[in-house]
Structure 1
Amino acid sequence: MGTGTGSRLRALADYDVLALSALIWFLAKFLRYAFPPLFPTFRDAFGVSNATLGLAFAAMMAVYAAMQFPSGALADRVGARAVIVAGASVAGAGALVLAVPLEAPWALPGIVAGMLLVGLGTGVHKTVAVRLLAREYPARTGRALGVLDTLGAVSGVAAPSALVLVSGALLAGALATVRAPGRAAARAVAADWRTLFLAGAVAAGVLAALFARRVPATTAPGDRPGDAAGGGVGRYLALFRDPAFAAFVAVTVCFSFAYNGAVAFLPSYLVAAGGLPEATASVLYSGLFVVSLVQLATGDLSDRVGRLPVIGATLALGTLGLVLLLTVSGVVAAGAAVVVFGLGCHGFRPVRGAYLSAVIPESSAGGGLGVVRTLLMGAGALSPAVVGWVADAVGFRAAFALLAAAMVAAVAGTGVVAVADG
């Protein structure tokens, strides 16, 4: 009995790196997903416009995107543990800034400062964590990344729910705006939403301390300070000389363009082109994230049957979902199309990370992933603007047809990768 218990504890200890990496990623996305539901509260309590709030959120995401390559390159030199611990600590500091109530005129600048720190701290995690997990679990990389991405996706549901549960935050904010406009309203809602960020700050500190304590400085061969060779940015750009690598990056850029454009405007599309009520469109939209649990299955499957077959199948499934959205009508058919699209897109994500981890040389793993993720997020940031412009010009069906074409290109590109891979 004692021996069996000890064996189980040792087996659980083998997953320390995965558990802590995934929990930090959950917290990182939780903090970011908490802001959009709070925008109506911020707007009413502090008297700011939607444009101002949108600019603040864009600035946070710009800082997040800008950290992808530097964090990966830094991890190549000083090790993954140091970068992840520093990122969690900075994100926790940002959450703590958001938890501190400030009087006008410093209230809004304080919120923006906290948002920027959250973007800075969370921006270093994913690139470095993917590299770390691939080294720690070489035979189970797909499964490990499936867990990581699934917890990140679940945070998109958890953050809005937490805001409702913490002292009835959203309802209290709305009532406070009516009963105590201006500064009084700001004080009335502060006890609700600031509590959430205070909890986030404490969680970030605890996770950073646990990561520093439980994850060794060297968890696998090659994850040591100074392992990265010289050469600067050029050695990362040299990765694109490999036709298979360049083709796969093109595949992921096409996917990111299609997925982010669809996610940004799917409810609007279902209302405008599908003729569905807004409430129904919102319910179907949530289904897109509920099916993210498929990442656990596709990640594990890629470890068993190979990455490229699973990549091709999931991209084809996502493409089918978008094509169905262009042709179907009615709640049931539209819901089925959304589920098919979600299964394909979420299923692709952990396998993408596993494939990149396998093809990027060990000495350039962090910076190489950082370059790729910068390109992905650039395409993802551009996509909503393009979709919005096309929708205004010729309609939502044309805009989503463009996204479907991008997914078709991704599927075709997978064939090119297979050929180039030999």
Structure 2
Amino acid sequence: MTVALSRRASDVRVIGLISLAHGSSHFFHLVLPPMFPWLKDAFALSYAELGLLMSVFFVVSCIAQAASGFLVDRIGARPVLFSGISLLILAALVYSQSNGYAMLLMGAVIAGCGNGIFHPVDYTLINHKVSPPNLPYAYSMHGVTGYLGWAAAPAFMVAIAQLSDWRIAFLSAALLEACILAVLWVNRSYLLDNVKERHDDTQASNQAANPGVAQESAFAFLKLTAVWLCWIFFFFSMASTSSLQSFAPSALFSIYQVPLDVGSYYITLLALGSAGGVLFGGYLAAKLKAPERIVTSCLSVTIVMCLLLGTGFIPVGLIPILFFGLGFGYGVVAPSRDLLVKTVTPKGVAGRVYGIVYSGIDLGAAVGPFIFGFFMDAGLPNALFLGIVAFQLMIIPTVFKVSAGIAPKTA
């Protein structure tokens, strides 16, 4: 009994620390977009240029994620985690001292390098430090804190920018991340993973699964159609979300004359709705065991909501309700989406499949804001919501194709 309680306490501590780190990475996804109105005025930038900053951030993050996965396997998760958080602190400091677009780009590159390490680190630590019975809680908390990080950033950044200026807002973000690094450092003993032990476990698992059989190519899983369908799902899903996060306040101002600071708080509502949706979506996925029905039903509702926002005729008082509803719908989809990915993942290549599929999220986040920046510059804010509808319509066929039984092959 004592051992079990001790193990549970350790799991809780590890889950809390990893979730805190993950929430801080999502927080840094959105330290820049809420400052777009200030940066646009300060440096006379176009929306396309501002959107490109987010594109650079996510493209660099995508590359860093692939590289950091190998680094985690080589030197362990903890030093990579501390390095990533340190890079986020440095990025915020660079943003705060920017004297033009070049420095903002430099900050985006540094932030992308820092952001790219979190998922390889997080899932390595969760899988090897948390006992199997508590893994579902670890994954759930990990996801929820990501959405809470998204929720906190716009409110935090806009409030400080209004009280002082945008430079102080970025400095405050750097200070907040430094405090998180301090908490993780104090509890660093809980984040130490045994690299040799992980390697030995992997080799033993491979031998047990394929005794005396020559290993297939490390890239054989790329032939699976289901993997690329999941990639498309993630790409269009994140392209929608990141575009909404980047330009919704400006679009709402143009269409409905909603003040920019109020529009930024709607992004917080979007993230809070997503956090609640993830919790409900996990329960729903476990009970119904029909991920394709859950995904298509929720996307159908969010498509209608985006169409309503794009018309320009809905009452302003309904906008915050619609944003919370959009977030809730996106959140409900997430557990079922992850279940679909797990279903199509062959044994023995989970890490590689995860890396490829997750790169769709980073690239979607890079492409979406870049595309819609041009629409915003052209004076077509309604196109933001209508374009998101088009992206979501692209997702639905992939769900049906995956669930139709594209069976994974054991690698």
TM bucket, shorter chain:
0.7 to 0.9
By how many angstroms is 1:232 displaced? 12
SS of residue matched to 2:194: coil
Task: Give matches, 1:11-410, under 5 Å.
Answer: 11-37=8-34, 48-50=43-45, 58-75=55-72, 77-78=73-74, 82-95=76-89, 116-130=109-123, 132-133=125-126, 136=130, 143-162=137-156, 170-173=162-165, 193-194=170-171, 196-207=173-184, 210-217=187-194, 235-236=218-219, 238-273=220-255, 275=256, 277-278=258-259, 281-293=263-275, 294-303=277-286, 305-306=288-289, 309-310=290-291, 312-327=293-308, 329-357=314-342, 359-361=344-346, 363-389=348-374, 395-397=380-382, 400-410=385-395
Partners in 1 of 2:97 and 2:236 — Cα distance?
A: 45
Unaligned 5+ residue runs, structure 2? 207-213
Matched pairs, number: 391
Q: Is the contact between residue 81 and residue 121 of structure 2 (CA under 8 Å) also seen in structure 1? A: no
For 2:242 and 2:101, locate their aligned partners in 1 and report how far apart those are by CA, in whole Å.
29
Tell which deviates more after alignment, 156-165 or 14-23: 156-165
Which deviates further from its counterpart, 278-287 or 217-226?
217-226
The amino acid across from 1:349 in the alignment is A
Q: CA separation in 1, counterparts of 2:292 and 2:222? A: 20
TM-fit CA distance, 1:334 = 4.0
Distance 2:34 2:266 in 1: 18
Deviation at 1:256, TM superposition (A): 2.6
Q: Is the 8 A contact 1:22 1:148 kept in 2?
A: yes
Secondary structure of 1:235's aligned partner: coil
Q: Distance in 2 between matches of 1:338 and 1:269?
A: 13
Relative to structure 1, the CA distance from residue 17 to residue 233 in structure 2 (aligned partners, 3 Å threshold; closer, same or farther) is farther
- Which TM-score applies when normalising by structure 1? 0.73
Q: Could you tell me how far apart the structure 1 residues matched to 2:372 and 2:172 are?
A: 37
Verify the 8 A CA contact 2:69 2:121 in the aligned structure 1: yes
2:125 touches 2:193 (CA, 8 Å); kept in 1? Answer: no
Question: Could you tell me whether the CA contact under 8 Å between 2:266 and 2:323 is conserved in 1?
Answer: yes
Please tell me the root mean square deviation across aligned C-alpha atoms, in Å: 4.4
Identical aligned residues as a percent: 19
Query: Residue 66 of structure 1: CA displacement?
Result: 1.5
C-alpha distance in 2 between matches for 1:266 and 1:109: 25
Per-residue CA distance 1:193-240 (angstroms, 9 max, x = gap): 5354244234225415635544442699778577899x999634x323
TM-score using structure 2 length: 0.74
Aligned match of 1:179: none
Consecutive unaligned residues of structure 1, counting only runs of 5 or more, are: 175-188
